[in-house]
Amino acid sequence: MRLLKRILAITAFSAAGITFVLFSFPLYRFFHILWMLTNIGPSFHGLSASEAQMTSSVHEVLEYAVSSLLRPTGSARETSIKPQINSTIAEIEALQNIFTCYFNHIPTRAQGHTRPSYGRCNTSVPVTSNVNQGSITNRFSQELAITGAVGMQFVLSQSLLPLSDASAWQYNSPVIDPLTDVRVRDNYWLRHARSADVILLNRGPLPAPASTYASHSGNWSYAKDLPTYLEAIRPNSWEDQPFIYDNKHMQTRLLVNAALHVTLTSFLPSLVQTLNALHHDVNLRHKLVIWHDSHFMHQSHSDKKPRLRRHHFLGDYLLFRGHLQIAEDPWKFYHNAQVYMQNYAIRRLLPHFGIQYLPL
């Protein structure tokens, strides 16, 4: 298999308003994509009627949102954005010089070459404002050709905002996301994507609104004023099967609905905007683009229960034990609810844009 000269990884994970960037990625996973891409469906085994009903309702809302966002315009790969809800697409600031090194040189085992001195941080040739980045890039490319190695470059882009102009104010002005009141960050990433052979993308869940951190247990009163999606999606079908929850499920349902709201009104519309931009960019539409899923935040290390399979999460964990997780950490619960919903919807969106899905 042909070795890749460059790999651009654009990753952003958000948890409780803190963003961190993935600094390494096992390359062998690229060669197991076909093996790893499986279509695992949800399982409702062991759930009560109300829990299974909520899970089914969440799935139905997401299916409706995806079908509403996708409208063919001449070919199976072309889509247009048609939001069903007034959405707020996060506007973010550029973060200049966040990295002290531009490339990560990954030599192949077969070649047996040692790592070049300028490949990563803390090297003999530091990358600073006084060093010509172009000269380092040329040296890096020459080393790749000699060793047959792979180069990975990382760009932090919290919203994957696909503007064509690097000087746009969205990349150069501090911005607070009006949906969360949390400051968000972005860099102009399309230029780097155009020079890559493989583009690896991810966008993590949105942080909880800043107001929720007003107390130790969280102030989630804002969620009571959000539209109620779970009952509203199929009023005729659920007439004879009303939602019945005891007290322990009320906050679970409230946070599930809040996670669904931010997924429908912010995450999915802005994601489709990014995917459309990739598809219509003549320099990007034929590149190999891979989207890797976001990660669940599991319980503490003291939790001795076995890790649950991802397709059991919403039913067996989010709903069945959701009230227990909320009591321990409602922000973790809110994050995990978004991860489940986003991964569920993304698996249905990506085929329309010719993008591979990589579950990790």
Residue 140 lies in a domain: no
CA distances from 111 to 132, 135, 179, 279 (A): 29, 24, 50, 36
Task: Report pLDDT digits (tens) over 46-69.
Answer: 455 666 677 778 888 888 888 888
What local confidence, expressed as pLDDT, does residue 49 receive? 60
What local confidence, expressed as pLDDT, does residue 326 receive? 66
What local confidence, expressed as pLDDT, does residue 36 receive? 39
Q: What is the mean pLDDT of residues 265-291?
A: 90
**Which of the given ranges, 145-149, 222-226, 306-310, has the highest pLDDT on average?**
222-226
Residue 348 lies in a domain: yes
Residue 196 lies in a domain: yes
Residue 146 lies in a domain: no
Are the beta carbons of 265 and 65 closer than 8 angstroms? Answer: no
pLDDT at 312 over 70: no
Task: Report pLDDT digits (tens) over 80-101.
Answer: 322 322 332 232 222 222 222 3
The tally of domains found in the chain comes to 1
Are the beta carbons of 297 and 27 closer than 8 angstroms? Answer: no
Q: Which of 190-199, 287-296, 325-334 has the lowest mean pLDDT?
A: 325-334
The share of the chain scoring above pLDDT 70, in percent, equals 50
Question: The whole model's pTM is what?
Answer: 0.66
Residue 236 lies in a domain: yes
Residue 104 lies in a domain: no
Range of the domain at 27: 6-98+156-358
Q: Which residues of 317-348 are buried (b: 16+ CB within 10 A; e: fewer)?
A: bbbbebbebbeebbbbbbbbbbbbbbbbbbbb
Q: Which residues of 41-65 are buried (b: 16+ CB within 10 A; e: fewer)?
A: ebbbeebeebbbbbbbbbbebbeeb
Are the beta carbons of 127 and 101 closer than 8 angstroms? Answer: yes
What local confidence, expressed as pLDDT, does residue 205 receive? 92
Residue 66 lies in a domain: yes
Q: How many CB atoms lie within 10 A of CB 305?
A: 9
pLDDT at 159 over 70: yes
